[in-house]
Structure formats: C-alpha cells, structure tokens
Structure 1
Amino acid sequence: MARFWFCVAGAGCFLALLVLHSRIRDSPVLREFVFQVSWRTEEILYRLDVGWPKHSEYFTGATFCVAVDSLNRLVYVAQRGENIQKVLVFTEDGYFLRAWNYTVDTPHGMFAASTLHEQSVWITDVGSGSYGHTIKKYSSFGDLVQVLGTPGKKGSGLNPLQFDNPAELYVEDTGDIYIVDGDGGLNNRLIKLSQDFMVLWLHGENGTGPAKFSIPHSVTVDSAGRVWVADRGNKRIQVFDKDTGEWLGAWNNCFTEEGPSSVRFTPDEKYLVIAQLNLSRLLFVAAPPVGSIGYCSVISSIQLADQVLPHLLDVSGKTGAIYVAEIGARQVQKYVPLNSYFSSFHS
C-alpha cells in the first residue's frame, strides 16, 4: 500500500511539472517563479579583478560613468565633484595615464568612439551652468571638438537641438548616434542622429506604452540592428529597429524590484550585461535570436555590497572585461570573464 501511494505522489509531481511547463510562457507569475529558482543554479561567468586599477587614489569624486576604447585599450572615467579632475584615463591593465577637466561640468554618461582614423570621447553633461544640457565630443586628450545642444539652456527643440539631462549615448562606427535624453527633466526620448547631426527618427513621449519612456537611462546597439534602451522608470528594456525606429518589443519580467540603469552586450553578444542601481546588482541576460525578443532570462548575476550603486558600465570589445562606475562606492571596478567563458568567446 505504501508503494502504491508513493507511485501516486510521483505521478502527481510529474503532471504538475508538465502543467508548469505548458503554462510558463503565458503566466508572468510562473515566469517569475522560474526566474527566482534560476538564481540558485545560475552559471558563474565573471570574477572581480581586485588589482584594477593599480592605484585607486585617483578616484576623488563620485564616479558616474565609464567608457572603454577597445581599439587602444584605454578606459575613461568621468567623476563629479568640486575642484577635481573630471575625466581620468587608465589603461585596461590599470595604469593611470592622465586627467583633464576643461569644459566638463556635471558628467552623466560617456562613450568612446574609436576607429583607425579617429579617437574620440563623448560625454553627456547635465550641469546647470554654461556648459550644461549638452553632449560634447572630445579628442582623447581632452580637446573640445563638437558640442550638441544649446549650452546652458535646457529644452526639447530639434532645430536647433536642445537637451535636458541627456543620460547616455551610443555611437556606431558609421557615425550614427543614439541618444537617451531624460534622466529626469523635460524629456523622455530616444533620438537617432546621422553623422552630420540630422534627426533620423525619434520616440519622444513620457508614458508607459510601447515606445514611450520614463527615465530612459542607457542605450546600446547590437550587430543585428536592434537598439536596446534601459527604460529605468518603467522597469523594462525596450527594443527598436535601428534603421526604421520601429518598436520590436520589451522586457519587464526581470525587473519587478528595480529597473535597469545600464545595458551593454558582451563581445560575442551572447549576453546583455545590466546594472540595477539601487539593488547594487549586475545581471547577465541571454540575448534573444534575431527575429525574436521573447522574455528576459537571467543566466548569471553579481551581487555587490550594499550602497555600491552601479550607475553605468561598459564592456571591452577585445577582452570582454566589464568596467562598472559605482557612484555609492566612488570607484570603478573591473570584472573579467572566467577562463571557461573567455575561451568559448574567443573560439
């Protein structure tokens, strides 16, 4: 009799698993359950490089953003504070090279755009002074090359361009620029500009529906032509076609507690690396195949100490190393791929 009831119980568990499997795609509650369970069996992909940088005393302010020049193996860090150098330059090995402070007021986001013909650094400036509400392009040594926006004047205009708290940008090798303008303030929009700064397309409305935003905070582009936006206030990532601006879908099932503050791809594009500011957490999410957005699936995570507050991050296209700007800890930390993952992504 005991064996009979044991078999009945086993059959019941098997049927329950079948039901769970059949309904998982349609039930947010069940998807969240599987998401939580997966955290206990997740794969470990990265480890902290405790020796980077060689000398951390150069961090003297609140480190808001970081950008990697993979071609020249340089790491740029922008920090806020009074009477400090706003931009620091390190090698990927951790050696300090130089600093500059010329026309940067209150940096928020940055991007290193380097080709064989040009090496430049773009910085979004959210200050209220004469240099604020702009996006600036610098040479690698800090010489101001170009200013987008109306210096010292916030706004929503497109001709001439105006910004209000531009959060971050992404520059393609073609010169096309993707800007998320809206870390609070007037605007909640995603703008694509051509290399000569003409508006190619725009999504620019505050709201919760498709192609609307609440604090769009980070943007990146993959090789399949998809634009990924960390829609932080709405606790989701939205995806667009880079050529037409068409809305392709959204992820929100991974962000019930906290919205994404930063998003970047690993060099092999197997994973999106996502920072969650107030949870002090990094997520590694499986990238979907071309033609499907699907659901967010967390493969791995790194839980940082309380109040570290990872704000924005960048990834080296050569080594796969992740650099995280932490405004709470007032530092940038480097995470390197484990040997098993490093070998697979170079093979």
Structure 2
Amino acid sequence: MARFWVCVAGAGFFLAYLVLHSHICGSSLPLRLHFAFKFSWRAEEILYRLDVDWPTYSEYFTGATFCVAVDSLNELVYVAQRGDNIPKVLVFTEDGYFLRAWNYTVDTPHGIFAASTLHEQSVWITDVGSGSYGHTVKKYNSFGDLVQILGTPGKKGTGLNPLQFDNPAELFVEDTGDIYIVDGDGGLNNRLIKLSQDFMILWLRGENGTEPAKFNIPHSVTVDSVGRVWVADRGNRRIQVFDKDTGEWLGAWNDCFTEEGPSAVRFTPDGKRLIIAQLNLSRLLITAAPPVGNIGNCSVISTIQLADQVLPHLLDVSQKTGAIYVAEIGAKQVQKYVPVNSYFSSFSS
C-alpha cells in the first residue's frame, strides 16, 4: 500500500511539473510528449451513456432496423425494420417495454416520424419499396391503420402534379402540420419539399449538384426552434440550412465531414445541440447549434463512438428526456443513449 501511494505522489508531481514546464517553456517540450499532454488535458466531455437495459427484450428486432421515431407526448418509440415475413413496425414504451407490432401496407421502410398532438397520434413512414406501396410517404395512426398516402404508389418519378417520389429518405412534421420531405436516397430526385398541412407544395429546393441548395443524397431533415431547416446532404458531405418560411439558403456546414457525410440530424430538447450520425464511421457527433442569424461552422462538443459495423442509419431524440434512439442497420437493433445527470439538468431547467 505504501508503494502505491508513493507512485500516486510521484505521478502527481510529474503532472504538476509538466503543467509548470508547459507554461514556462511553451513548445520546448518534445513534440510527441507535448501533443500527448495537450490531448489528454482537453479530453471531450461525456454527455451520454448507453442504456444497456433498453429495450427489455432485444429479441423483438428480427430484421434490419432502418429508422426510429419518438412520440414524446405519449412516451412511445416506433421502430421500422426490413425483412421477409416479419413485422415492419414495432412499438415500445420509452422505458423499453414492447407493446405491439404491425405490418400493414409497409413495403420497404426507410424513414419514420411520430407527429402526435393532444388530438391525434400519427406515424409517418417513407417507403422506398418497388411494390404497390413503394415510393410514397404514408401516414398511419398509432395502431397501423393507413390514413394518407403522398406520392404515386408504386411509381417513382419527378412529377409535382401529381406528386411523385423516388426513394424518399426521411421527413419532419412540425406542430403546425407543415411537412418537410427529403427525396431521394440515390434515386432520380435530390430535393427538399415543404408541404402544407393540406399537402399543398409551399416551396421546393434542390436538384443533383454540389452548389448551394443542390443535393447529392439528401438523407435526413429537421427543423430548429428559430425557423431553420437542417438537411443532411450525405453525398456532398455537408449539412445545408434553409429558412423554413421562404426556403432561402442560409449556409452550410462541411468542416466536420472530411471523412464521411452525415446520415441523420436531430436537435436536443433545449435546441442547443445538434446530434449527427455518420453511418460508415459508426459514430455520433454532438455539435453546438449556432445562434440566430449565424450559421457559422460546425463545432463538435462530444462524440459517441459505436462499435465497428454498427452502422447508425437514422436517429431520433426524445423531446422530454433528451434520450437519443439510434437505428443501427449493421447491428440490427436500436440503442438508447441517455444524458448524464449534469447534462440532463439543462433540459429540465
């Protein structure tokens, strides 16, 4: 035991010496030692931890889990998966208990969104299948009954009247009922469409390209609390930002995506952080949201490194608890990450 405390004291003395030496001598430390010290001194803050008990039984995941949506109002989690002869949509509580499954009129789900109000529980799914319900965006009630179909079922295309989709990737529905759809995941279209609650086209942005307001695989979309639409422009390795009322291009982030583009974007309940998934890197980025009137540059606050080949495809965030739910097509599961106590207090304050 005495030897242990001698080692601790020695390590503390050496660390204090390094701190003092770095202040006095600056870059005179050997390059490798100087770099290692700097790196360890500025370690990232840990904001989330894995909830290993969610869900209570992972055996319910029987296919490739492509997307997940949180109904924060009713504390429900919807998971859509692909595969033959399996339920396409699973419904859990936010605590991880399985409630039910349904398989009606869903061919090949890609994105999912829960848009519940005090008067209505609804679930929207983008379907990229080649069957009779493919290339559409569909609205269901919470028990899987089909309520509305957007697009031309079974026919991909570029048309606007009637509206057609080709591999619609994801959507976001505001409390007002306005709908933002990113269309397409490698198909004919590379565009962002805003629809009113009665499904009229309010504005449209995009075509295939690298210039501002053009896309290469727009894969995920979300809206912040100050009226900006954020699109994961995956093929172009950037996030593009638009004004939600006019569709005006406001700017882009590309400095965080030198290795791989973003596949999913969602904000934390306080609007201060943007959670971003990178599919092939199996990584989540927690970035600082810019202030009003300034898109600025991407600033990573923290990261969550998943295991190799987990492949986080799309994600959602509970607007009550701040928990992140990640649909992982490689691992064929959904995992839940909860804020650590000190970070959670910022949501509840």
TM superposition score normalised by structure 1 = 0.90
> Offset at 1:343?
1.1
Alignment partner, residue 312 of structure 2: 310
- Quick check: which has more Rg, 1 or 2? 2
Counterpart for residue 185 of structure 1? 187
Which residue number in structure 1 is paired with residue 226 of structure 2?
224
Q: 1:129 to 1:11 in 2, by over 3 A?
A: closer
Residue 88 (structure 2) aligned to one of 77, 86, 89 = 86
Q: CA deviation at 1:40?
A: 5.8
* Partner amino acid, structure 1, of 2:342: S
Match of 2:154 in 1: 152
SS at match of 2:222: strand
Conservation of the 8 A alpha-carbon contact between 1:230 and 1:238: yes
- The alpha-carbon deviation at position 345 of structure 1 amounts to 2.1
User: Residue 124 of structure 2 contacts residue 140 of structure 2 at CA under 8 Å; is this kept in 1?
Assistant: yes
Instruction: Give the Cα separation in 1 of the matches to 2:101 and 2:26.
Output: 67
**Residues 106, 133 of structure 2: 8 Å contact kept:** yes
Change in CA separation of 1:38 and 1:258 when aligned onto 2, cut-off 3 Å: farther
Aligned pair count reads: 320
Assess if the C-alpha contact under 8 Å between 2:270 and 2:346 holds in 1.
Answer: no
- Asked if residue 338 in structure 1 is aligned to residue 345 in structure 2, the reply is no
One-letter amino acid matched to 2:113: F
Q: Following the alignment from structure 1 to structure 2, what is the Cα–Cα distance between the partners of residues 260 and 224?
A: 22
- 1:183-236: per-residue Cα shift (whole Å, max 9, x none)? 001000000000111110101311001000000000000110000000000000
| 2:127 aligned with 1:110 | no
**Could you report, residue by residue, the CA deviation over 1:281-333 in whole angstroms, capped at 9, with x for unpaired residues?**
00000000001000000000000000000000000000100000000000000
Cα 1:132–1:40 change in 2 (3 A) is farther
Query: What's the secondary structure of 2:115's corresponding residue?
Result: strand
CA distance in 1 between partners of 2:154 and 2:123 (Å): 21
* Whole-angstrom distance in 2 between the partners of 1:323 and 1:81: 21
Matched with 1:245 is 247
Seen in structure 2, the aligned counterparts of structure 1 residues 343 and 130 have a Cα distance that, compared at 3 Å, is same
- Give the drift of 1:344: 2.1
Aligned to 2:17: none
Q: Aligned partner of 1:79: which letter?
A: Q
CA contact (8 A) 2:321 2:347 kept: no
* Root-mean-square deviation (Å): 1.8
Which residue of 1 is the match for residue 3 of structure 2?
none
After TM superposition, the structure 1 = structure 2 runs for residues 1-347 of structure 1, keeping only pairs within 5 Å, are: 10=25, 41-347=43-349
Amino acid paired to 1:137 = K
In structure 2, the partner of 1:18 is: none
TM-fit CA distance, 1:39: 11
Displacement, 1:11?
A: 7.5
Query: 8 Å contact 1:39–1:300 — kept in the other structure?
Result: no
* Structure 1: stretches of 5+ with no match in the other structure: 1-5, 14-32
Q: Which amino acid aligns with 1:81?
A: G
Unaligned runs of 5+ in 2: 1-20, 29-34
Please state how far the C-alpha of 1:10 moved relative to its aligned partner.
4.4
One-letter amino acid of the structure 1 residue matched with residue 244 of structure 2: K
Cα 1:44–1:142, aligned 2, differ >3 Å: closer, same or farther?
same
Say if 1:275 and 1:282, in contact at 8 Å, map to a contact too.
yes
- Do the aligned residues in 2 keep the contact of 1:156 with 1:163 (CA within 8 Å)? yes
Distance 1:182 1:290 in 2: 29
